[in-house]
Amino acid sequence: MNTLQTTTPARLMYLHMGSKEPQKQIDFYQHMMDMQCERFTDGSAVLRGPNRVVQISPADKHGLLAAAFQLGSKAQQAELRHQLEERGCSVQEITSPILEQGSFSIRDPQGRETIFGVANNHHRADLPGMPGRLQHVVFQTTELEDMVDFYVNTVGFTISDNVMDQETGKLMVCFLRSDDEHHSLAFFRGSKNEWDHHCYETNEWNDIRDWGDRFAKERISIFFGPGRHGPGNNLFFMVVDADRNRLEFSAELEMTTADQAPGNWPQSEYTLNSWGRAWIRS
């Protein structure tokens, strides 16, 4: 089967968040994440920084409304849509202030919305700010095998690493890639179906330090890390935004080849953080 990595490489481009208190979220991403705000008449806002974009809309509850992946061309957009429809996936054309006409969305079996499209002329990588490219998004799910099956066999993601419970042999975490980076999407087995976190990839360890200093200055504490993940081999730490959504800052994420076989890791603290204590989902 053609995969995203081999045929239509896709990179996470923006997240659409819902918020009960959108102004607090807007203030956070402007002040803490060096993002410039564009407001719309429906009360939503698009915030742009260097290689990172978020859309924030008023909502009844906090959380992620959609994750959007950027394709390299209109031809790749058309090819991916054709492949999805051939595999029986329902495709819905959408209008986005961040993507060109012809962008479309799909929903997985649990209702999560994923958008694919080509960036419009307003998307810029040269905006001022600290380095941190929006890079991956992660969910917890009660139906891990079904989610992996959908994103691999219908959408075209590739498994980079699996984390297994050594006593039961049960799959606990799956890391999925859509281009040459180790993962742009991942799922943890959990007791709830919810957004787990999203991540910004920096250039080096010193950037991790500088982001940590920025949050420390505002008395925003790191709740996981700093450390190094086993799968992906990346340095990291995590904090929360104004709505308590989790943000990760990462460096040195592993690169892969298209023929790289999936790795297998034991479910343990060392796998999730080789430097020390880990956050184990339940």
Helix (H) or strand (E) holding 146: helix 144-149
Mean pLDDT of 49-63: 96
Picking from 117, 141, 167, the residue at the C-terminal end of a domain is 117
- Show the domain range for 9: 4-117
- Both 11 and 113 in one domain: the answer is yes
- Both 203 and 257 in one domain: the answer is yes
- Both 27 and 96 in one domain: the answer is yes
The answer to whether 174 touches 187, Cβ cutoff 8 Å, is: yes
- Both 167 and 268 in one domain: the answer is yes
- Both 154 and 75 in one domain: the answer is no
Could you give the number of structural domains in the chain? 2
Residue 123: band (very low, low, confident or very high) from pLDDT cuts 50, 70, 90: low
Picking from 63, 83, 117, the residue at the C-terminal end of a domain is 117
- 125 in any annotated domain: no
pLDDT > 70: percent of the chain: 99
Picking from 85, 117, 149, the residue at the C-terminal end of a domain is 117
- In this prediction, residue 239 carries a pLDDT of 98
pLDDT, one tens digit per residue, over 155-190 is: 999 999 999 999 999 999 999 999 999 999 999 999
- 128 in any annotated domain: no
Pairing of strands 104-107, 113-117: antiparallel
pLDDT > 90: percent of the chain: 94
- Both 29 and 108 in one domain: the answer is yes
Residue 230: band (very low, low, confident or very high) from pLDDT cuts 50, 70, 90: very high
- 282 in any annotated domain: no
Residue 126: band (very low, low, confident or very high) from pLDDT cuts 50, 70, 90: confident
- In this prediction, residue 281 carries a pLDDT of 82
- Both 265 and 169 in one domain: the answer is yes
In one-letter notation, the amino acid at residue 219 is R
- Both 61 and 157 in one domain: the answer is no
- Both 112 and 148 in one domain: the answer is no
Mean pLDDT of 73-88: 97
CATH code: domain of residue 107: 3.10.180.10
- Asked if the model's pLDDT at residue 122 lies above 80, the reply is no
Mean pLDDT of 61-79: 97
List phi, psi (to 5°) of 257.
-105, 160
Give the global pTM: 0.96
**CB neighbour list of residue 137: distance below 8 Å, 6 or more residues apart:** 12, 15, 64, 67, 184, 185, 195, 197, 198, 199
Q: Which of 133, 131, 95, 110 is nearest to 14 (CA)?
A: 133
SS (H, E, C) 71-97: ECCHHHHHHHHHHHHHCCCCCEECCCC
- Both 176 and 237 in one domain: the answer is yes
- Both 260 and 179 in one domain: the answer is yes
